[in-house]
Structure 1
Amino acid sequence: MSTLRVTAERLTVHAHSDADALELAQVGLYRAVVAKGVYRTGDWAVYIPESAVLPEDLIEELGLTGRLSGAKRNRVRAIRLRGELSQGLVCRPEALAGVDLAEAHAAGTDFAGELGITKWVPEIPLHMSGDVVPAADLLPWIDVENVKRYPDVFEPGEPVVATEKIHGTACLFTFVAETGEEFTSSKGFAARRQGLARAEDNLYWRAVTAHGVPKAAREIAERYGAARVGVFGEVFGSGVQDLGYGESGRSERPGYAVFDVAMEVAGQRVWVDAADLHGLLESVGLPAVPRVFEGGYDADALLAAAGGTETWSGRSVHLREGLVVRPVRERHSDVLGGRAIVKVVSDDYLTRKGGTEYE
């Protein structure tokens, strides 16, 4: 998931294709449906992104009672309004009436706390949970931001690699060379430096064991002289999320594919370059997420490529979640303040019916 930030943004307003009383307010590459005439291009407003959970008073103020998502009707998610995709909310809350939004934007102010907005975190189903153990040495995963919020991470034409974003549950495995310890965790538990206790019926341990992840991590550590190796993969299949990819999450060998590898070498954490990742994984016998594109960065082309059908099964059994885009060689992004990496999510995936979103 992306990080939650509620920020002041300058708008670009577009006509709605099929509604005279509505318009589209653009923030980055996101567009949110708004009432016609409320905003003009160049105006400043507050942008509340998807996966935000709003307090009741703000919901009432914005006239959204009963119109949001979730059991409590308080969560922002993407919807289609008269055929146009609407992502997030554009508003000017009364609590910020005296705030200079242009200055707040320049300062990078996050209004989430002031407005009582929190990030939606899906509950972990029992079959995907387990007993937890301390895991201080576990290498955590990161939040990958959406290219629509941060469209300037890559320069046009910059060499990038795009891999398919598989809809499952993130599975983190860390091998510690000095002690021989092995940790497995989900993204949510790992953020709290907790691992999942080894158990035959645990989804994550079943996946890493069946696919030989511990042996592969040891081999990588020996090859590079790494103190720690983190293998980041996706566990998927029927019974994990609503998209199954022709795999079964209930079997002894759930669907599993690696999307990243990190190492601690000479006290520094390094990520394996996208250009080298698939070759490394093949050499140690680990399955990799499908590579969809390699070439010069083109935002419009990648937004289009995020749609369509999945490629893992080879049979296009359902829609594609999207893509993850990285530079061919790892680099720092001043825009993100960290790794240069973004996700591109399919519009059809966002608006599908009956979807699940477990971490």
Structure 2
Amino acid sequence: MSTHAVTVVEVGEVRPHPNAERLDIVAVGPWQVVVKRGEFVRGQRAVYVEPDYVVPTTRPEFAFLAKAGKDKHRLKAVRLRGELSFGLLLPLPPEISDAPVGTNVMETLGIARYEPPAGKAGTFADEMAHDRWPSTHAPKFDLENYNHFPSIITPGEHIVCTEKVHGANARYVYIDGEFFMGSRNRWVKQDGNHIWTRAAANNPNIEKWCRTYEGMVLYGEIYGAVQSLKYGLDKDVRFTGFAAVHHGVWLRQPVLFPSLADFDVPHVPIIYSGPFDIDRIKEIAEQDSVIAETPGHMMEGVVIVPSKERYHSLIGRVALKYISNRYWLSNA
């Protein structure tokens, strides 16, 4: 499960902005933030809020972000005088002035993780009654950001790097004589007018695969007319698979992907397979999308999974996302 937190950090390197005499660039772990000149020094404790968190502009620390008629503001990545700036760095407010590095102050400061609107994905009216949910282990699928756990995948470890598709999470499984479909958090009615039925109807082979591998939960992304990146599909939706689990055991991608191909069920594009090198991954993430119908569409980012499935005490199954700068800036 993905961890959402706003923490007290120790400021890293502080250097002058090359194009602005009144600005500095501050390193916060793998991120960088553009700040007012002289506001922070190396080793200082501060609060760092990443992009895609929502801050209350009713608090004095965030009041400068207020817009007419709104009491909240979603933080994004921006380019300031030619330099990327991710999120917001602020001095410790008085009520947490003694908080040590690593303290999660998200609740104290009234900050929330940004959740995109349901849009065309579906509503709670589409949810299946809980007593009819499938009797299987189908954990919520979330990915941690590589920037939070940069040491979990070691340099040189053999990995598979796939395109991270921007859409809506989907789960499909055939069990107890019934074909089930669901989102990240809930199982939905098979006869509902939502993207999960549309995707399954567009490719009946999804159900055929699930019937063949009864009890195995197939995970994937429904994309197209779903989120801001439409990949050339302005009105249609499609499914692409990326993982499968059976009784708590995740199927290795070198096994899963060929099995999906045998049924003409698409899987996420493999962009790279080989020794892990974060500089190489960063380059790959900025390329055009492979799954898009037409050229010129950006990738949201990539997903990095060890070729040999393994677990880590901090995140469980090892699978990390790396988001492209192109995508961060597209939300600015």
- Give the TM-score of the pair, scaled to structure 1: 0.82
Are 2:7 and 2:48, in contact at CA under 8 Å, matched by a contact in 1? yes
Tell me the residue number matched to 1:246: 232
Mapping 1:239-318, distance limit 5 Å: 239-247=225-233, 249-250=235-236, 254-264=237-247, 269-313=248-292, 315-318=294-297
What displacement does 1:80 show? Answer: 1.7
Are 2:303 and 2:322, in contact at CA under 8 Å, matched by a contact in 1? yes
Deviates more, 1:41-50 or 1:163-172: 41-50
1:202 aligns with 2:174: no
* One-letter amino acid matched to 1:3: T
Tell me the residue number matched to 2:113: 119
Change (3 A) 1:116 1:246: closer
C-alpha distance in structure 1 between counterparts of 2:258 and 2:301, whole Å: 23
Tell me the residue number matched to 1:132: 127
Deviations 1:73-96 (A, max 9, x none): 422222222222211222222221
Tell me the residue number matched to 1:224: none
C-alpha distance in structure 1 between counterparts of 2:6 and 2:106, whole Å: 5
C-alpha distance in structure 1 between counterparts of 2:281 and 2:109, whole Å: 34
Are 1:140 and 1:172, in contact at CA under 8 Å, matched by a contact in 2? no
C-alpha distance in structure 2 between counterparts of 1:345 and 1:308, whole Å: 12
What displacement does 1:197 show? Answer: 1.0
What displacement does 1:150 show? Answer: 2.0
Change (3 A) 1:73 1:116: closer
Are 2:163 and 2:301, in contact at CA under 8 Å, matched by a contact in 1? yes
Are 1:232 and 1:259, in contact at CA under 8 Å, matched by a contact in 2? yes
SS in structure 2 of the partner of residue 86 of structure 1: strand
* One-letter amino acid matched to 1:231: L
Change (3 A) 1:353 1:30: closer
1:17 aligns with 2:18: yes
Runs of 5+ consecutive residues of structure 1 not aligned to the other structure: 222-227, 355-359
Tell me the residue number matched to 2:328: 350
Are 1:24 and 1:32, in contact at CA under 8 Å, matched by a contact in 2? yes
Count how many residue pairs are aligned between Structure 1 and Structure 2: 324
Are 1:233 and 1:260, in contact at CA under 8 Å, matched by a contact in 2? yes
Change (3 A) 1:246 1:35: same
SS in structure 1 of the partner of residue 267 of structure 2: coil
Change (3 A) 1:28 1:339: farther
SS in structure 2 of the partner of residue 245 of structure 1: coil
C-alpha distance in structure 2 between counterparts of 1:14 and 1:300, whole Å: 22
* One-letter amino acid matched to 1:219: T
Deviations 1:330-353 (A, max 9, x none): 11124x331211111111111115
Mapping 1:37-116, distance limit 5 Å: 37-58=38-59, 60-66=60-66, 72-91=71-90, 92-99=92-99, 101-102=100-101, 105=102, 109-116=103-110
C-alpha distance in structure 1 between counterparts of 2:312 and 2:53, whole Å: 25
C-alpha distance in structure 2 between counterparts of 1:220 and 1:301, whole Å: 36
C-alpha distance in structure 2 between counterparts of 1:46 and 1:353, whole Å: 22
What displacement does 1:248 show? Answer: 5.0
C-alpha distance in structure 1 between counterparts of 2:73 and 2:207, whole Å: 42
C-alpha distance in structure 1 between counterparts of 2:283 and 2:67, whole Å: 29
* One-letter amino acid matched to 1:341: A
C-alpha distance in structure 2 between counterparts of 1:244 and 1:56, whole Å: 31
Deviations 1:284-328 (A, max 9, x none): 331111000011111111012101211124642411111011100
What displacement does 1:164 show? Answer: 0.5
Deviates more, 1:325-334 or 1:81-90: 81-90
C-alpha distance in structure 1 between counterparts of 2:20 and 2:254, whole Å: 46
C-alpha distance in structure 2 between counterparts of 1:353 and 1:29, whole Å: 20
What displacement does 1:67 show? Answer: 6.9
Change (3 A) 1:71 1:171: farther
Mapping 1:174-193, distance limit 5 Å: 174-176=173-175, 179-187=176-184, 190=185
Tell me the residue number matched to 1:328: 307
Change (3 A) 1:54 1:353: closer
Change (3 A) 1:303 1:206: same
Are 1:332 and 1:340, in contact at CA under 8 Å, matched by a contact in 2? yes
1:213 aligns with 2:200: no
SS in structure 1 of the partner of residue 180 of structure 2: strand
C-alpha distance in structure 1 between counterparts of 2:67 and 2:280, whole Å: 33
Tell me the residue number matched to 1:164: 163
Tell me the residue number matched to 2:223: 236
C-alpha distance in structure 2 between counterparts of 1:83 and 1:210, whole Å: 44
* One-letter amino acid matched to 1:145: E
* One-letter amino acid matched to 1:173: Y
Change (3 A) 1:98 1:244: closer
Change (3 A) 1:270 1:96: same
What displacement does 1:120 show? Answer: 1.9
Are 2:56 and 2:71, in contact at CA under 8 Å, matched by a contact in 1? no
Deviations 1:47-67 (A, max 9, x none): 222222222343x22453327
Tell me the residue number matched to 1:225: none
Are 1:219 and 1:284, in contact at CA under 8 Å, matched by a contact in 2? no
